[in-house]
Amino acid sequence: MGVLDVEPQALKVLRTAEFAPYVVFIAAPDLSQIKGVNDESLERLLKESELLQQAYGHYFDLVIINNDIEETIRELQHAIERVSLEPQWVPVSWVY
């Protein structure tokens, strides 16, 4: 199993039977979780995260909100383990 960090536009190309991807989106933290931070770059990151979810959310199999990096890594490791061990849903067109 490979882990790729791709541009969102690549999801259209990669979402095929040949690759059979499991797509995890690491979303920006919830603004309410970040106390006392009023940074333009953070606000831009949050807005971009929302826009990506709106535009490409239908490609995501899992969304992890990155409120805590250690918890995010644990969730990602758990997802990788689950995908490796359990059967996953795939579009019928990938099977036939």
- Residue ranges and CATH numbers for the domains of the chain are 15-94 (3.40.50.300)
Chain segment 32-42, per-residue pLDDT in tens: 666 656 677 78
What pTM was computed for the model?
0.83
CA distance 17 to 25: 20
Chain segment 43-82, per-residue pLDDT in tens: 888 899 999 999 999 999 999 999 999 999 999 999 999 9
CA distance 16 to 5: 17
CA 22 remoteness from chain centre: 9
Residue 25's nearest CA partner among 61, 77, 78, 51 is 61
Place of tokens 């992890």: 64
